[in-house]
Amino acid sequence: MTNRGSARGRPRRSSRLEIEQRAIGLFLRDGYSSTSIEAIAVACGISKTTYFRYYGSKSELVWWVFDEYIRATEDALNSADLELPVMAAIRQAVMEATGGVADDEGTWMKRFELLDTTPELRDGEAAHWQAWGEAISRYVAARTGSRATDVVPAAVGGALQAAYLAGFRESSATGESSTQTLARLDATFALISQPLQAWINFEQAHSALMGRHPLVGSTAGPWEIESSDGISPRPRSHNQQGS
């Protein structure tokens, strides 16, 4: 999400959501390409100038919550309890992050319907889901002492991405509420966690034999995901821990 600078301040999240709800409704009704920023502004009762205080473009309106969601997932993984099995920690982190964006009005759900029916948004959708899956893969790599691009971390990230999308699309098709959708997603993750955890356990054991040191239990300090090269994360410095 683009930072507009401190002079004007950061727009209220609630106002952003109100505009987003109206806009996505217009996109679904009239088509993304056919809906202008001016039409969105009129529907929301604001000026185009006000619109641009919140968003730098039409596409940013679609992506800003997705960007927040990816960051929330990364934050939840960063703070996950290392005593938990890897899949339990991921499941908890994903549910926490999803609960923060799955609004009662169903806007988060409608976004999936929009993305699935709008070809011009497909590239952006693929890039965002890749970023989300890579966050999962980096966490698995950290916990297994491997690289995010190795088979197990990459496969776990891909499997969870596929399960997440399948669950949300099924919920969207059946008109489930946000609460029902979250329950479905949690049940789906619970179902696939056992076989994935068994695979992760094997990778952890292999790393131990190879002399690699995954982050496990109380032996590891606070850490942060190393996103630049996919290598297992580094511990934070004392200054970082205090920030």
**Residue ranges of domains in the chain:** 1-56, 63-242
Q: Phi first, then psi: what are they for 168, rounded to 5°? A: -70, -40
Give the pLDDT of residue 238.
Answer: 32
Residue 152 host element (H or E): helix 151-174
The residue that leads in pLDDT, 215 or 112, is 112
pLDDT tier for residue 13 given thresholds of 50, 70 and 90: low
Q: What percent of the chain has pLDDT over 90?
A: 60
Give the pLDDT of residue 89.
Answer: 97
Give the pLDDT of residue 49.
Answer: 93
Give the pLDDT of residue 196.
Answer: 96
Give the pLDDT of residue 216.
Answer: 54
Q: How far apart are CA 24 and CA 153, in angstroms?
A: 34
Q: How far apart are CA 223 and CA 115, in angstroms?
A: 34
Give the pLDDT of residue 215.
Answer: 63
Give the pLDDT of residue 10.
Answer: 46
Assess whether pLDDT exceeds 70 at residue 12.
Answer: no
- Other CB atoms within a 10 A radius of the CB of residue 179 amount to 11
Q: Of 11, 37, 15, 17, which Cα lies nearest the Cα of 26? A: 37
CATH class of 63-242: mainly alpha
Which fold does the domain 1-56 belong to in CATH?
A: Arc Repressor Mutant, subunit A (1.10.10)
Q: Is 104 helix (H, G, I), strand (E, B) or coil?
A: coil
What is the C-alpha R_g of the chain?
20
Give the pLDDT of residue 214.
Answer: 62
Q: What is the pTM of this model?
A: 0.79
Give the pLDDT of residue 233.
Answer: 41
Q: How far apart are CA 87 and CA 197, in angstroms?
A: 6
Structure tokens at 207: 């790393």
Structure tokens at 189: 């993750």
Give the pLDDT of residue 105.
Answer: 77
- Least confident residue range of 58-62, 104-108, 164-168: 104-108
Region 230-241: mean pLDDT is 38
Region 138-152: mean pLDDT is 94
Region 151-157: mean pLDDT is 96
**222: left (phi > 0), else alpha (psi -120 to 50), else beta?**
beta
Give the pLDDT of residue 171.
Answer: 83
Q: Is 123 helix (H, G, I), strand (E, B) or coil?
A: helix
pLDDT tens, position by position, 34-89: 999 999 999 999 999 999 999 999 999 999 989 999 999 999 999 999 999 999 99
Assess whether pLDDT exceeds 80 at residue 6.
Answer: no
pLDDT tens, position by position, 209-234: 776 766 654 333 333 444 333 334 43
Assess whether pLDDT exceeds 70 at residue 174.
Answer: yes
